[in-house]
Amino acid sequence: MKIENVKLRSRMNGRVALLCDCKNARYHVWLDPKTMDPGDTLCKNSIVARGHPDYFDTRRLETTSAPSQKIIDAMIAVCKSEGLLEKFVVKERKDKAKQQKEAEAYRRIRRIREAAPRMFDLLRDLIVDKCFAGPGGAPCAKADCRVCRVRALIDEIETNKMEDE
Ligand SMILES: [Zn+2]
């Protein structure tokens, strides 16, 4: 018996989905990663989509039957020999770290958005007429002058605001 595409996917209630393909069907069990117990059910799904002549609805097989056991033993053997559980845990950790990073980036943007009106008012009061680098102490209006750039942005915002109303 030849099984292919052995892999671990999602985790649910402490168990991990262990999948494989075998003879035009896809099988999975919910494996306990500590005890390698496959649970009670081996699910057999069609590889082809609904509507295809070879399509069949999900079959829930007893894990204790001899044919089920053959597939499960073969899946677990691959899982062990290829260190799939270890790889899965590493991937889970990476995914979680990535999610946390994205969530933090999102929260930061939200904090900036919430602070933006106060920041704008403070910046406007702070910056207006603070550049005296031009002739006669006027704003220099140079492209690389940060004070003048903030001034220009403030002017732009205030102008657009008036046009909107
Ligand atoms: Zn300037």
Task: Please name which of 126, 19, 55 lies closest in space to residue 3, comparing C-alpha atoms.
Answer: 19
The pLDDT of 131-146, averaged and rounded, is 89
Tell me: pLDDT of 93 over 60. yes
Ligand 1 mean position to 83 CA, how many Å?
A: 62
Task: Please name which of 110, 106, 108 lies closest in space to residue 98, comparing C-alpha atoms.
Answer: 106
Ligand 1 mean position to 159 CA, how many Å?
A: 20
The answer to whether residues 74 and 13 belong to one domain is yes
Ligand 1 mean position to 160 CA, how many Å?
A: 22
Tokens of 14: 């402490």
Residue 112 lies in a domain: no
pLDDT of amino acid 162: 57
Residue 78 lies in a domain: yes
Residues 19-77 have pLDDT tens digits of 999 988 999 999 999 999 999 999 999 999 999 999 999 999 999 999 999 999 999 99
Residue 105 lies in a domain: no
Ligand 1 mean position to 138 CA, how many Å?
A: 8
Phi (first) and psi of residue 89, to 5 degrees: -65, -40
Residue 119 lies in a domain: no
The answer to whether residues 74 and 135 belong to one domain is no
Residue-range definition of the domain harbouring residue 149 = 128-164
The pLDDT of 116-130, averaged and rounded, is 90
Q: Which residues contact 103 (CB under 8 A, 6 or more apart)?
A: none
Ligand 1 mean position to 157 CA, how many Å?
A: 18
pLDDT of amino acid 56: 94
Of the residues 82, 117, 139, which one is the last residue of a structural domain?
A: 82
Of the residues 82, 116, 150, which one is the last residue of a structural domain?
A: 82
Ligand 1 mean position to 132 CA, how many Å?
A: 7
Residue 118 lies in a domain: no
This prediction has a pTM of 0.68
The answer to whether residues 10 and 77 belong to one domain is yes
Residue 40 lies in a domain: yes
Query: Structurally, how many domains does the chain consist of?
Result: 2
Of the residues 21, 49, 82, which one is the last residue of a structural domain?
A: 82
Integer Cα distance of 40 and 45 in angstroms: 16
Residue 45 lies in a domain: yes
Integer Cα distance of 70 and 106 in angstroms: 48
Ligand 1 mean position to 54 CA, how many Å?
A: 74
Task: Please name which of 35, 43, 56 lies closest in space to residue 17, comparing C-alpha atoms.
Answer: 43
Residue 121 lies in a domain: no
103, amino acid identity: A
